């Protein structure tokens, strides 16, 4: 059973300080992952983490977004180097807990065509799962026809991987406890965009890599249940429970 | 015109000392590459470097070869981390000379099936070339169905890339000045394996990742001229000259 888990960049880093880890939050997430693998609650697990204050800082500085690129190798390496550093922290915390995590860097594997469509073959990820490893991907630069190198977000990687690997469950662990309604309460289930359209309308423009509304549309289009939840619910998600907002 | 250039691990590292760069040799190679790109002698260039004393040291220590793998993430990371360190040195020397080099790590992009056949999609490499970058790959670990992670050599990557990118010229810069005959002289041209069979017979078993004989067979099977030459001939190779041994 394939599970794709996104650890939000804002969960594992300190958003307000460039290239600063939230070591406690990352350790707690690594504990939950290690425990779920050790007791067999999860078997085939793919982890994707955002770039957090490592990636965004450099991407903002050089004006690189998901559709505006750079052809300056120094700028690309600033973004790529920073997210690789964050990836090394994530891998190291997982290795400390005997999770056989291996890095998969999207800049090495993915590309966008002139219409910005993402292409990333996933045989390497599927073979890592079959061989008992936990592939760990991350928001990164991606070479983009006609644009140089643009950004690929962790969320985009999650839906791409979930589709290509025919994932059974998808989890988005972020700093909010779920998709919130107009009163700020968690919507327990979304089966159609209309279920949450009122609440989501306003958040469409809050995130450069696509707001919650776009995220919900993407997740509704997957063939698997997805969950949006906060860090406190990670262990329960990995145990197979319904947590936060279920989207299917 | 696509050129695939291999920088042998024994050229750019000190073979006898673990994880030791041959800084002078690497600087000279980076100079030749930067000059050839600056004067337009070469346009689309893919660089592949071996693991040298960075990769082999750790691979030997853990008994990891091209067909015997490891499922220990710590062992895999020892090999992968070491060749990434070497790759950072290579990239940095190229960046110092304004070569827009970007890393492509094979562990992130490639896999082997149960018959050990290498699969590595190359859209990302082709798009990097189209966008004016110089992709830099390297000998690395590669996930391998039924084996965990095995080794992929720089030479194997070169023939794979040359075939998939329909390369126009292939260069293997190693510590020998060419394919040598029984008297130790460079064979200027090999058009059929028989041209060099006598000289190559003996070297079949000298390299764990395939001796010179296997290399020549692979290169003969490509649709492009390949050259085996020493570091002193790199600038001439990049200028378009026939150097060392021409294999076609």
Q: Which of A100, A101, A108 sits opposite B109 (nearest CB)?
A: A108
Question: Which pLDDT belongs to residue A238?
Answer: 98
Are the Cβ atoms of B108 and A104 closer than 8 angstroms? yes
Q: What tens digit of pLDDT does each residue of B171-217 get?
A: 999 999 999 988 889 999 999 988 888 777 654 444 444 578 888 99
Q: Averaged over A56-64, what is the pLDDT?
A: 94
Number of CB pairs < 8 Å for A and B? 112
CB contact under 8 Å between A108 and B111, yes or no, is no
Are the CB atoms for B80 and B54 separated by under 8 Å? no
DSSP string, A39-96: TTS-SEEEEEE--HHHHHHHHHHHT--SSS-B--HHHHHHHHHHHHHHHHHHHHHHHH
Nearest chain B residue to A119 by CA distance is B123
- Please report residues of A whose CB lies closer than 8 A to that of B121: 121
pLDDT at B205: 43
Q: What is the DSSP string of B35-65?
A: HHHHTTS-SEEEEEE--HHHHHHHHHHHT--
Q: Are strands A44-49 and A189-190 parallel, antiparallel or unpaired?
A: unpaired
pLDDT digits (tens, 9 = 90+) for A143-190: 999 999 999 999 999 999 999 999 999 999 999 999 998 888 999 999
Question: Which residues on chain B are in Cβ contact (under 8 Å) with A128?
Answer: 143
Nearest-by-CA chain B residue for A132: B71
> Where is pLDDT greater, at B166 or A212?
B166
DSSP string, B193-230: GGGTHHHHHGGGGS-TT--HHHHHHHHHTSSS-EEEE-
Residue A78 has pLDDT above 90, yes or no: yes
Q: How many other C-beta atoms lie within 10 A of the C-beta of residue A61?
A: 12
Q: Chain A: nearest CA to B14, how far in angstroms?
A: 26
Q: Does residue A131 belong to the interface with chain B, where contact is any CB pair within 8 Å?
A: yes
Is residue A205's pLDDT more than 80?
Answer: no
What is the arrangement of strands in the sheet containing A2-7, beginning at the earlier edge strand? A101-103, A134-138, A44-49, A2-7, A169-173, A226-229, A245-247, A189-190
As a whole number, mean pLDDT of residues A70-77 equals: 98
Q: What percent of chain A has pLDDT over 90?
A: 85
Res. B114 pLDDT band, cuts 50 70 90: very high
Mutate to test the interface with A, among B93, B122, B127, B130 (most CBs of A within 10 A): B127
In B, minimum Cα distance to A130 occurs at: B145
Angstrom distance (rounded) from CA B155 to CA B86: 17
pLDDT of the residue at B208: 42
The whole-angstrom distance between B5's CA and the closest CA on chain A is 18
Mean pLDDT of B144-172: 97
pLDDT at position B206, please?
44
What gap in Å lies between CA B182 and CA B164, rounded to an integer?
34
For residue A144, the chain B residues in CB contact (below 8 A) are 127, 131
Q: Which of A101, A108, A145 sits opposite B108 (nearest CB)?
A: A108
Task: Give residue B16's pLDDT.
Answer: 85
The yes-or-no verdict on residue A203 having pLDDT over 80 is no
- Cross-chain residue pair B127–A121, CB shorter than 8 Å: no
CB atoms B100 and A72 under 8 Å: yes
Task: State pLDDT tens for residues A114-148.
Answer: 999 999 999 999 999 999 999 999 999 999 999 99
Helix (H) or strand (E) holding B190: strand B189-190
A207, pLDDT greater than 80: no
CATH number listed for the domain at residues B2-247: 3.40.1160.10
**Tell me, what's the pLDDT at A15?**
83
What pLDDT does residue B204 have? 44
**Is A111 close to B124, i.e. CB distance below 8 A?**
yes
pLDDT for position B182? 84
> In chain A, whose CA is at the least distance from the CA of B72?
A100
- Confirm or reject contact between A54 and chain B (CB < 8 A): no
* Å between B77 CA and nearest CA of chain A: 8
Beta bridge partners of B3: B45, B169
Calculate mean pLDDT across residues B71-96: 98
Residue B119 pLDDT > 60: yes
pLDDT of B201: 65
pLDDT confidence of residue A206: 44
In this complex, the residue of A73, A131, A143 whose CB is nearest that of residue B148 is A131
pLDDT at B21 (0 to 100)? 96
CA distance A20 to chain B (A): 22
| A186 DSSP β-pair partners | A180
Which residues of chain A make contact with B132, given a CB cutoff of 8 A?
71, 148
* A240 in B contact zone (CB under 8 Å): no
- List chain B residues with CB under 8 Å of A115: none
pLDDT tens-digit map of B18-38: 999 999 999 999 999 999 999
CB distance A127–B133 less than 8 Å?
Answer: no
- Return residues 151-180 of A near B (CB < 8 Å): none
Residues in chain B within 8 Å Cβ distance of A112: 127
Mean pLDDT of B117-124: 97
pLDDT of residue A208: 42
**Residue A46 pLDDT exceeds 50:** yes
Q: Which of residues 89-128 of A touch B (CB under 8 A)?
A: 91, 95, 99-112, 119, 121, 123-124, 126-128
């Amino acid at each position: 059973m394939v599970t794709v888990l996104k650890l939000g960049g804002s969960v594992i880093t300190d958003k307000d300080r460039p290239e600063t880890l939230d070591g406690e939050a990352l350790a707690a997430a690594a504990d939950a992952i290690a425990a779920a693998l050790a007791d067999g609650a999860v078997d085939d697990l793919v982890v994707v983490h955002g770039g957090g204050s490592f990636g965004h800082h450099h991407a903002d500085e050089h004006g690189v977004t998901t559709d505006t690129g750079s052809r300056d190798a120094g700028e690309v390496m600033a973004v790529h180097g920073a997210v690789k550093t964050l990836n090394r922290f994530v891998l190291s915390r997982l290795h400390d807990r005997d999770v056989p995590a291996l890095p998969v860097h999207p800049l090495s594997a993915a590309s966008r065509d002139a219409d910005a469509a993402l292409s990333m073959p996933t045989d390497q990820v599927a073979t890592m799962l079959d061989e008992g490893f936990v592939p760990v991907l991350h928001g990164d630069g991606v070479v983009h026809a006609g644009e140089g190198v643009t950004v690929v977000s962790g969320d985009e990687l999650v839906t791409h991987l979930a589709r290509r690997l025919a994932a059974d469950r998808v989890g988005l662990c972020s700093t909010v406890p779920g998709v919130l309604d107009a009163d700020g309460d968690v919507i327990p289930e979304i089966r159609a965009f209309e279920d949450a359209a009122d609440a989501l309308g306003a958040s469409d423009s809050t995130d450069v890599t696509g707001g919650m509304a776009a995220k919900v549309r993407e997740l509704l289009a997957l063939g698997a249940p997805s969950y949006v939840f906060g860090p406190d619910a990670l262990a329960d998600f990995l145990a197979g429970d319904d947590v936060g907002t279920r989207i299917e």
